[in-house]
Structure 1
């Protein structure tokens, strides 16, 4: 994003806070500050700014509601990836999904061999997801997965204000607009069309869990992805990456995914 060019996040924060102090009744500087605080993972401060924005500008109430829920979902997400709680599952919770969740609990207990065994079994049981995507160019694929082995055949998303795990096998199509706001570096607005014909609007986390705690500003603002050794696997921080049988695509470059799956998958 051009407004961050040449500046660190801390420098940008100082400037943004100055803008708010100079115009405390203007919601626009506060909206930018709110978004920047989300990039930094300063969730409580971001919520405070959201509250004030809602009080200053009734036209922003829909945004306030959407992103208040997204911030709450971040806490749920951290607990899920730490193996402490289970997410909501879109559709029937099949055995392979239970194995993926069990692998997170095993990881929290420091059992890397168990983690690998559970994930291998889950990946064997999970349905493949053939289809096509639109990014810098169109690409057909025989299968698609998240490059992070903690997710694989699943994407996570905030839908109807709640945190979900969404198997790719439940999606007919998803469409994504090009990023236009700073908050898109944290959550990617996504339109889902489901195999059963229903549709939903949601937010896919742009970054992998824990990205906001990394020292590298490029990780925090989804400008790069880094793979960290984790018990024989590699887990991601920074921008989310999807992998197919022939290519990798970062989420901010993705415009659409469509799947050629049967509704009984």
Structure 2
């Protein structure tokens, strides 16, 4: 079998360590094998080791200068992932090219309250956000639904996006006209889905959408959550399932695969092919149309 097939087999068994071992062994014997080097970089991303991924991407670029453009986009996505981590762990704000929408401003307030373990303030911000959000109609994979909402209360109204310019963005559902996902073809697509986003203003860009939730802070396992909710759970890192947590203020957080509630159906980020949104105004969301490509 080829290395790609061997990696697919190992990952199908949730054996991330074995997959990394296979890629590392190939790189050790063939240090200028760019494909193997990039497979190893992608597996490092899945494992949450962004600095190691950057090291391998640099070495790949040195070995194959003609592939610099594609490798450069990968490294920009790593930069955006670092910015994402900085938001969820330190409170460094996401990028809002024209400023946060009213909904995103409330989500920022909500998450700051969670970071401060102020459950009352977090609950108040979520109530205001849900009230302002109302319902967000969606057409997912050709099926109409009256509302789309993320099942994680930390960001119920928007997607996270990584731009080719290295920025970590929030895009309100109301700002998006269509989100078209590409089929998965490489290991990294399990955790960062490739997509083409078209905004309501007509601008469009290629982005990566994180399919795996960031680790919640200060949460406890919900009563119906499986016992496999440990941060190091490889199955969750690979998006094999979703565990839910109780957060301060009665909010719900999640680990593992991102899920949306589309009408009365739970739609996972791995299942979705296209999400279409008719124009809707949510109390000032129109003031934050973000051109992901220019970011």
TM exceeding 0.5: yes
Pairwise mapping of residues 67-216 of structure 1 onto structure 2 (< 5 A)? 67-82=74-89, 84-89=91-96, 93-126=100-133, 128-134=135-141, 138-159=142-163, 160-210=165-215, 214-216=231-233
Matching of residue 223 in structure 1 with residue 240 in structure 2: yes
Distance 1:94 1:4, change over 3 A: closer
Determine the C-alpha separation between the residues in 2 that align with 1:205 and 1:59: 28
Higher relative contact order (CA 8 A, sep 6+): 2
Q: Tell me how far 1:127 sits from its aligned partner.
A: 5.3
Q: Offset at 1:59?
A: 4.1
1:94 to partner: Cα distance: 2.9
Give the conservation status (yes or no) of the 8 Å contact 2:14–2:238: no
Question: Does the 8 Å CA contact 1:90/1:166 hold for their aligned counterparts?
Answer: no
With over 3 angstroms needed to count, the CA separation of the structure-2 counterparts of 1:93 and 1:157, relative to structure 1, is same
Unaligned runs of 5+ in 2: 1-7, 217-229, 287-295
How far apart, in 2, do the equivalents of 1:220 and 1:82 lie? 18
What number of residue pairs does the alignment pair up? Answer: 261
TM-score (norm 2): 0.82
CA distance in 2, matches of 1:83, 1:103: 15
**Whole-Å Cα distance in 2 between the matches of residues 73 and 128 of structure 1?**
30
Unaligned runs of 5+ in 1: none
1:78: how far off? 2.2
Regions of 4+ moved over 4 Å:
262-265
The answer (yes or no) to whether the contact 2:160–2:171 under 8 Å persists in 1 is yes
Residue from 237, 240, 254 that aligns with 1:236: 254
After TM superposition, give the deviation of residue 3 of structure 1 in Å: 4.2
Q: Do 2:32 and 2:60's aligned partners in 1 also have CA atoms closer than 8 Å?
A: no
Q: TM (normalized to structure 1)?
A: 0.91
Query: Aligned residue for 1:246?
Result: 264
Would you say 1:258 and 2:281 are equivalent positions?
A: no
Cα RMSD of the aligned pairs, angstroms, is 2.0
Cα shift at 1:45:
0.8
Name the SS for the 1:85 alignment partner. coil
